[in-house]
Amino acid sequence: MPRVRQPGRAPKAVSSNGSVGTSIPKLEAYEKVTGTALYLDDLRIPGVLHGRTVRSTVARGRIRQIAFDPAFDWTGVVVVDHKDIPGDNVVALIEDDQPLLASTEIRHAEEPILLLAHESAEHVERALRAVRVEVEPLEPVLTVEQSLARKQLLYKDTNIFKEITIARGDARAALHSAGLAGTVLVEGTYRTGHQEQLYIENNAMMAERTGDGGLLVRGSLQCPYYVHKALMRVFGLPAEKVRVVQTVTGGGFGGKEEYPSVIGAHAALLAWKSGKPVKIVYDRLEDIAATTKRHPSVTRIRSLVDKDGSLLALDIDTVMDGGAYVTLSPVVLSRGAIHAAGPYRCANTTIRARAVATNTPPNGAFRGFGAPQTQFAMECHMDAVAGRLKLDPLEVRRRNAYREGDITPTGQVLTESVGAHEVLERTVRRAHYETKRKRYTQENAVAAKAERSGKFDGRGRRVRRGIGLALVYHGAGFTGGGEVKLASLAAVDVTPKGRPRILSASTEIGQGTRTIFAQMVGDALGMPAEFVDIETPDTGLVPDSGPTVASRTCMVVGGMLVEAARKLKSELSAFAGAELADAAAFERAARRYLAERGPLRAEHRYQRPAELQWDDDTYRGDAYGVFSYAACTVEVEVDLDTGETNLIGVTTAHDIGKAIHPVLAAGQIEGGIVQGLGWALLEDVRWKDGRIWNHQLTNYIIPTSMDVPTLDVEIVEIPYSRGPFGAKGVGELPMDVPAPAVIAAVAHATGLHLDEIPVLPEKVLHALRAAHAASAT
Amino acid sequence: MRSALTPLEIIRPKTLAEALAQVDPAGKNGASPLAVPLAGGTDLYVYLNAGTLDAQRFVDLWSVRELRGIRTIGEATRLGATTTMSQIREHPVLARRYPALAAAAAEVGGRQIQNRATIAGNIANASPAGDSLPALLAYDAIVQTRSARGGRTLPFESFYRGYRQLALAPGELIVAVDLPPPAARATHFFRKVGTRRAQSISKVVFAGLLRLDRDGLVEQVRLAYGSMAPVPLRARAAEEALLDEKLTAPAVARALAALERDLSPIDDIRSDREYRRIVAGNLLEQFLRIAAKRK
Amino acid sequence: MSDVTLRFTVNGKAHRVRVPPMKRLLDVLRDECKLTGTKEGCGEGECGACTVLIDGRSVNSCLVPAVQADGAKILTVEGLAKDGRLTPLQRLFVEGGGAQCGICTPGMLVSAHELLTRMKGKVPSENEVREALAGNLCRCTGYQKIVDAVRAAARGGRSS
């Protein structure tokens, strides 16, 4: 069982003697361990055609001509191009700049141009090779620097998709006063790279025409209503003619937030033209090469601190590479900007954030959504501050970390559930951070001395150890007015058998949506979770409870479902004229209700808590209802002979308000931490002429079980009064925290301040050599 | 893009003689393109799944009994061509006598790969990064080949003529790999450097064998590298620099300088030239530090 | 080339299929034997989602030609539970959070099953488990709950 601590007293509304807070078996786990869970590619549909995508091999250019090899047998091959699109040739998201199929202009490598389908997967594969697309190449823009130089204009006259400024106090003026009263100016630039989500189930969607002239699209996805909206535009169909159904989904991490709209619409175009069901299942090579990645970032921070390490002013400038189309970059940027100053109080803060256009495949949603990038920079910077002032990084964090009543850069007053100090202290205590900090420093000095006199460890190695620390926070739910605009709706109704049924579009993608929803609704109705049914996310059956993103599923949608369940219960109690004591009483009353009055359904639409204010134009106000907090220590052993960084310890505490299901919550934390460690140490997207070079699992390296040490996770519960049972968000938070701790641990072990991830062995070794050369002169 | 598997042919000989007849250029199939030998498929199917292999005919050696098994022949050890990496890592005698090879076998892919990848397959695939190959070089392995016309014995060191070029004639198969007995009281060393700790393709792979005489002079030394040149190779200049020397700092420095002449690393998808060069030297130093401690 | 007839058992049940000889075992299991529990994650022997046992040894079934299955005893994830009753390993995956999205789970369970069989009742160390599962990538769990479940299963189903 995961360790769970409740430092605060739980509010009354939170108390529960039901299943919330316990770890019941995950609902669909039986199917998953027996191999009976059906993922998209496991469905056996008679007559299904296999769809494939003809893509651009160049990063930028104009299509001159498309040639079909006349020697090839084209019989039975369905071919779709942009002219076959009945409605608009757009991937509907924030802006309409991305075409579903390129017509003339090519703006990134792997851009879809044509679609092919055939009943034989092998034949359509051959057909793919029998199409030749002739493209007149244009000079591509492949980096943030090239984009900002504006030699080639890709988007308006700036190449900037979105710019955000957040200002509190007067950071510039404060920075000008550097040196007065012993204040110190610290500057640094920090970089993060692309990252592939690398769900183990590749993208997979299937489409078929329905008898009523509509479409049924099924697949591996996070957001059924995103696909629904995209299909309506592409086909010019009304909402009721388009039905999108989630199949069991083998991981998402943001990678199946917006991209399934593209694949679903592609499959639908082939199905529309052929009249047959069509499935498109990407193979790994195509999935890595063509789909979205985490935005790379460059962040420059200038800070003014006083002698004891208090932050007096912060000036942060971050640039993210959006790729070829706007897609979700403005919102990724927004979350990145809001989190850029980290969980630290600072009266004068300016944050400028820009997302720029390049000719690389669009970057998109990925767990953390911009916040891991900017907080990586801020955490590295906090260590730089500590280094300049010769303070321990822990001390600098203790001095500045948020407490209740502190104000964020957007002017949000943190009124409750501020766990920054709690997670920090618990983490350093459990990790024996301070002891190890001293011990490793001493041991490293002893080892260096011994090596100089020709003594080595038993394996002849030259290794150094280090421990690093990081502290982050993460806002739960959509940013600012996002939840209001979304106005999502969730419902609970009653099945003919008299059981309550959850109706929401929130998807199970491994994280436990179904289980925690059943627990929360079960508790609200006073019955075991096993008694609660859950409808499949199917736009024909469930209301739009919003996308499964932004750490909102538990706190926001869970909260709506609890409200809906309470309404249902009170309606049914009133009807029965008695409290419904248990599941049996509920069932009896529900059946009688159905017989006498007909269907019973209760809904709840998101309502912003009255105290929250947000202005989207000025970026002032309450960016999120609440933040979750995490601290983490990472211990490493760096091999000076190879530059390899081996992880030898990871300790973390996460304040998530309330763990509805401690095992699943710990699973989110552990998985997120390891994904963050992969980003920090191993995962490097390598490019060649604007195309991803290492688009194979052999060369895009993610952590194996051998690459991670035992993870020591503690859950801290400082309840949020507006969250169901006190819960806040958990999904993204763990992604934010390990990378800067890795940088700090490597710095402790070696003295190298790398300020850039991934920390590949090559970088470490070359930096060690450079440092050695510098110290020798 | 995937290769179409449906039209591919595979012949399943039961005996070595049948297999040799199938690949004999003078035999009845000689006119058509020769069949590609396939055993565990751990490389060939990767190429087929990625669409980078054009071959249409294969000959399955997996169940040819004569190609299997680990045997002791006098002082030497014979590995049948289709001995798997699992069999090598789990074999108690191999682990004791050829620890560098056993260690290499334990780092080839995951368990699933080790259960299928064969020693001859690793040789024939001829990747300069092949994990077992430097260990075979360090143990002075000998490759036994057979064709319909008879057998040959080739030192493994001369088995590659260039990048992915085998010293095999058409119709010739690897049937076994012989490991001569290593010198007693030698230091054995294997280290593979990749990006992660399991299942990675090496950036630098090194195997070493070194024996000091009673006076502490280097009596025998073999240094072998993978991923450092178009083929896995012995670092002959560095060996030369060490032979008959004590493992003193100047001798090690001379060996390191000589090593530069032995190796010709490149930049590629997995690493850079400079990194490989530095790590190759550092691994040699690490090995020599261990060897020097052995009295 | 014309199809060949192959006979083998999967999970103790005899199968007779006619397939192209170089078809991947993975596809034979999924298409012919209708056992879709075995998944494809990469097609290059890296992720281990397609892991099955052939005569007791784990293999990546995406790298095995169908013909080599002729006469073999194959075990897939569907063969672990007997009459719907989960093995201790499966039960501990369910209870302990070893399966999240579930796509790596079949291969992971088969590899873990091979390890437990090889251990003959001995409890593997955490490192031994990590080493044995290094050929099975998981992106959800961070491996901790999987490793814990495997060790608990080796202890006879009692958790630590």
Cβ <8 Å between B116 and C135: no
The pLDDT, as a whole number, for residue A12 is 43
Chain CA centroid to CA C5, Å: 24
Distance CA A628, CA A720 (A): 10
Out of B200, B274, B279, name the one closest to residue A642 (CB). Answer: B279
The pLDDT, as a whole number, for residue B295 is 61
Q: How far is C43 from chain B (nearest CA, A)?
A: 6
Provide, as residue numbers in chain A, all residues whose Cβ is less than 8 Å from the Cβ of C46: 696-698
pLDDT per residue over B92-123, tens digit each?
A: 999 999 999 999 999 999 999 999 999 999 99
Provide, as residue numbers in chain B, all residues whose Cβ is less than 8 Å from the Cβ of C51: 112
- Interface check for B32 against chain C (CB to CB < 8 A): the answer is no
Interface of C with B in 88-147 (CB under 8 A): 111, 114, 131-132, 134-136
Provide, as residue numbers in chain C, all residues whose Cβ is less than 8 Å from the Cβ of A199: 101, 103, 139
Average pLDDT over residues B233-247: 98
Interface of A with C in 500-519 (CB under 8 A): 509-512
The pLDDT, as a whole number, for residue B29 is 73
Q: What is the DSSP string of A485-513?
A: HHT-EEEEEE-TTS-EEEE--PPPSSS-H
Distance CA A580, CA A588 (A): 9
One-letter amino acid identity for A482?
G
Nearest chain A residue to B248 by CA: give it. A454
Residue entry with tokens 């592939």: A196
Say if residue C1's pLDDT is above 70.
no
Q: What is the percentage of chain B residues whose pLDDT exceeds 90?
A: 93
Cβ <8 Å between A200 and C41: yes
Provide, as residue numbers in chain C, all residues whose Cβ is less than 8 Å from the Cβ of B46: 43-45, 63
Interface of C with A in 7-26 (CB under 8 A): none
- Interface check for C30 against chain A (CB to CB < 8 A): the answer is yes
Whole-angstrom CA distances from B143 to A45, A81, A536, B130, B171 are 51, 55, 60, 16, 16
Pairing of strands A242-246, A215-219: parallel
Cβ <8 Å between A460 and B196: no
Cβ <8 Å between B198 and C1: no
A63, A103 Cβ separation under 8 angstroms = yes
pLDDT per residue over B174-191, tens digit each?
A: 999 999 999 999 999 999
A246, A536 Cβ separation under 8 angstroms = yes
Average pLDDT over residues C7-28: 98
- Interface check for A689 against chain B (CB to CB < 8 A): the answer is no
Question: Cα–Cα–Cα angle for A364, A369, A373, nearest 5°?
Answer: 105
Cβ <8 Å between C111 and B10: no
Helices (H), A16-165: 29-34, 121-129, 144-149
Q: Residue B163: name the closest of B208, B130, B203, B194 by CA.
A: B130
Provide, as residue numbers in chain A, all residues whose Cβ is less than 8 Å from the Cβ of B2: 122, 125, 283
Out of A641, A701, A765, name the one closest to residue B195 (CB). Answer: A701
Provide, as residue numbers in chain B, all residues whose Cβ is less than 8 Å from the Cβ of C59: 112, 115-116
The pLDDT, as a whole number, for residue A325 is 98
Provide, as residue numbers in chain C, all residues whose Cβ is less than 8 Å from the Cβ of B68: none
Cβ <8 Å between B293 and A765: no
Cβ <8 Å between A682 and B196: yes
Nearest chain C residue to A709 by CA: give it. C144
Q: How many CB pairs under 8 A join B and C?
A: 96
Out of B6, B49, B199, name the one closest to residue C43 (CB). Answer: B49
Distance CA A676, CA A656 (A): 18
A711, A650 Cβ separation under 8 angstroms = yes
Nearest chain B residue to C128 by CA: give it. B111
Provide, as residue numbers in chain A, all residues whose Cβ is less than 8 Å from the Cβ of B287: 460
Average pLDDT over residues B232-258: 98
Out of B5, B49, B109, name the one closest to residue C135 (CB). Answer: B109
Q: How far is C154 from chain A (nearest CA, A)?
A: 17
Provide, as residue numbers in chain C, all residues whose Cβ is less than 8 Å from the Cβ of B48: 22
Distance CA A369, CA A330 (A): 11
pLDDT per residue over C66-120, tens digit each?
A: 999 999 999 999 999 999 999 999 999 999 999 999 999 999 999 999 999 999 9
Provide, as residue numbers in chain A, all residues whose Cβ is less than 8 Å from the Cβ of B269: 686, 693-694, 699
C112, C135 Cβ separation under 8 angstroms = no
Provide, as residue numbers in chain B, all residues whose Cβ is less than 8 Å from the Cβ of C136: 110
Q: How far is B191 from chain A (nearest CA, A)?
A: 11
Nearest chain C residue to B47 by CA: give it. C44
Cβ <8 Å between A699 and B271: no
- Interface check for A20 against chain B (CB to CB < 8 A): the answer is no
- Residue C128: how many other CB atoms lie within 10 Å: 18
The pLDDT, as a whole number, for residue A15 is 42
Distance CA A106, CA A136 (A): 9
- Interface check for A46 against chain C (CB to CB < 8 A): the answer is no
Out of A644, A696, A706, name the one closest to residue B193 (CB). Answer: A644
- Interface check for A455 against chain B (CB to CB < 8 A): the answer is no
For the whole model, what pTM was predicted? 0.97
Q: How far is B282 from chain A (nearest CA, A)?
A: 5
The pLDDT, as a whole number, for residue B294 is 79
- Interface check for C50 against chain A (CB to CB < 8 A): the answer is no
Nearest chain B residue to A761 by CA: give it. B195
Cβ <8 Å between B200 and A701: yes
Provide, as residue numbers in chain B, all residues whose Cβ is less than 8 Å from the Cβ of C124: none
Provide, as residue numbers in chain C, all residues whose Cβ is less than 8 Å from the Cβ of B38: 65
Q: How many CB pairs under 8 A join A and B?
A: 79
Cβ <8 Å between C90 and A41: no
Cβ <8 Å between B112 and C135: yes
Q: Residue B191: name the closest of A662, A460, A719 by CA.
A: A460
Copy the structure tokens of residue A334: 């927004």
Mean pLDDT, 10 residues at a time, chain A of 777 residues: 64 62 96 98 97 98 98 98 98 96 98 98 97 97 97 97 98 92 96 98 98 97 98 98 98 98 98 98 98 98 97 98 98 98 98 98 98 98 98 98 98 98 98 98 97 91 98 95 93 98 98 98 97 98 96 96 98 95 96 97 95 94 97 98 98 98 98 98 97 97 98 98 97 98 98 97 97 87
Provide, as residue numbers in chain B, all residues whose Cβ is less than 8 Å from the Cβ of A682: 195-196
Q: What is the DSSP string of A396-433?
A: HHHHHB--TT-B-TT--B--S---HHHHHHHHHHHHTH
**Chain B interface, best mutation among A118, A642, A697, by max B CB count within 10 A:** A642
Nearest chain A residue to C108 by CA: give it. A33
